Structure 1
Amino acid sequence: MVATLQVYLFLAFYLAIFALSVWALVDLLRRPAAAFPSAGKRTKNFWGAILGVGTAVAFMAIPPPLGLGFLSFLGLLAAVGAIVYLVDVRPAVAPYSRRRGPRGPSSPGGW
């Protein structure tokens, strides 16, 4: 009983790391490349490599029914890369990547 609970907790933990990594990678892909140097952060390619490798490692760390089940100790490094991006880089890049359409608050028509 306890062993089964541990397996499910382990599975939930690594699924959460994988979901966090995917979220960070998708957010990165939606940001323009020029926003990163403007915010004083590393380039989009740098973060793409970190998050891409991290997402692949996070998938490989998921236990066998759903993933491959190896490199589980590196799953924590994938979580660190995703957390650093989401907590530090994403808020810094966000103001430089907002879309300003013709109906925005700064439009001359004031729609």
Structure 2
Amino acid sequence: MGVELLSSRAIIGTFYEELDRITANQQSLVNRLAFFVQATQREETYRWLGQVPQMREWNQGGRELQKLRDNEYKIKNKIWESTLEFQLDDLRLDKTGQVRIRIGELADRA
């Protein structure tokens, strides 16, 4: 069984196909651990309220108001890339599927 010749469009398609396969397997774990927030700025600042105080026994003096801690963290958005360069002969003469393997590795690292 021979290995098919991959065009540049096929390489891109193969990359996204592998990326979809990898992320589909990881998606359920991600959804259990985190929630999605759209990033729209160069640097995002996320604020949230701290934990609620512990319960205490009620006394006749009334309520004791306790503030929630004010927390925040900042994330600087970065753009990432990785580009593969293949010689034309490597694409045409690839009998063992090395190009497809390398594309899969790139998708795995994305």
Category of TM-score, reference length = shorter chain: under 0.3
- Greater percentage in helix: 1
Q: TM-score, normalised by structure 2?
A: 0.27
Q: Which has the larger radius of gyration?
A: 2
* Structure with greater strand share of residues: 2
* TM-score w.r.t. length of structure 1: 0.27
1 or 2 for the larger relative contact order (CA 8 Å, sep ≥6)? 2
